[in-house]
Amino acid sequence: MIPVEPQPGTPTTPPVRLFRRPGTGRPHRAGLLLLLAVAALVPSRALAQPGGALKEVGFDQKLDVQVPLVLRFRDEHGQSVRLADYFGKRPVILVMGYTNCPLLCSQVLGQITRSLKVLDASIGKDFDLVTVSVNPKETPDQADAQRRVYLKRYNRAGSEAGWHALTGDESSIRRLADTIGFRYTYSPKLDLYAHAAGFVLLTPAGRVSRYFYGVEYPARELKYALGEASAGKIGSPIDKLLMYCYEYDPATGKYTFAIMNAIRVLGVATALALGTYMFAMVRRDRRMARATKATNPELPPGTAIP
């Protein structure tokens, strides 16, 4: 930096600094921290206000419970089947959702598919995957169309025989959901189902071995859990961090997609990163100003250094 000598009669203007303490040229650190606190607080309050339909929604852990294998559904070809038809040989990944789910169901199935692709174990050979629609109006054709989308992504020979998409009547769906702790509700006004994201892993005998919540399923954890379930072992309870398909906002009286909470979290992270960057830049400017003043003591106070 080349020091600039002020011209006679030219007023000197100190460099602009963000968040100054009154009466000084120092950055006001408290102001920056306040900005970050407000940025973090607003989304947090939004995240902490579930209500309305969500009071009836959850995914309770009922480890070692036996699913009712006598229940009847329709498979992806429209044929009447019993739940027992998919048990006895291999563990089963059971996913409850519905085809027209606007966000979370596709996130769950997409992440399951990505995580399973990196495993040596294969659908149809080492385990099966069964989706059950919570919408009694859903047709086998709709369920099969969704199934084929993810089979194409999985892209592994023989998997079609092990990936099944079931639809059924309200009583069968509710009984299965209640057994595994999958609590959901329907909004006629919105024609949407509120439910949590996740799935259960069942032993070959049809007992609940493990729960997976959210939309992230590390392949290593899945591999370990599949091995335990295959041996008929029951896992331990896990921490529960639920994501909901949609939530009621009491401030606006409207339903909003809960996946937006993830966007809010990212917004907080962005605000924190920006705040950290600003704070680092202010500190750097202060150090540079002190260093310049030390090497150029003749400069009058307040001289701008380019």
pLDDT, mean over the chain: 78
User: Can you tell me the mean pLDDT for 214-242?
Assistant: 87
Residue 108, pLDDT above cutoff 60:
yes
Residue 144, pLDDT above cutoff 90:
yes
Residue 173 falls in which region: left (phi positive, over 0), alpha (psi -120 to 50) or beta: alpha
Of 3.40.50.300, 3.30.390.30, 3.40.47.10, 3.40.30.10, the CATH number of 53-248 is: 3.40.30.10
- Check residue 122 and give its pLDDT: 97
Enumerate residues 6+ apart whose C-beta is below 8 A from 193.
98, 101, 134, 135, 184, 185, 186, 187, 245
Domain range summary for the chain, segments of one domain joined by +: 29-45+261-295, 53-248
Closest CA to 180 of 150, 205, 220, 211: 211
Supply the DSSP string of 120-153, one letter for each residue.
SS-BTTTBEEEEEES-TT--HHHHHHHHHHHHHH
- If one counts every other C-beta atom within 10 angstroms of the C-beta of residue 60, the result is 12
- CA dist 90 and 205 (Å) reads 8
More confident residue, 300 or 147: 147
129 band by pLDDT with thresholds 50, 70 and 90: very high
pLDDT in tens, 66-95: 999 999 999 999 999 999 999 999 999 999
- Check residue 261 and give its pLDDT: 52
Please answer whether residues 164 and 47 qualify as being in contact, where contact means their C-beta atoms are separated by less than 8 angstroms: no
Residue 259, pLDDT above cutoff 70:
no
Closest CA to 103 of 192, 219, 236, 209: 192
Supply the DSSP string of 208-251, one letter for each residue.
EEEEEETT---HHHHHHHHHHHHTT-----------BSEEEETT
Residue 50, pLDDT above cutoff 50:
no
74 bridge partner residues: 80, 167
Range picked from 49-58, 117-126, 233-242 for highest mean pLDDT = 117-126
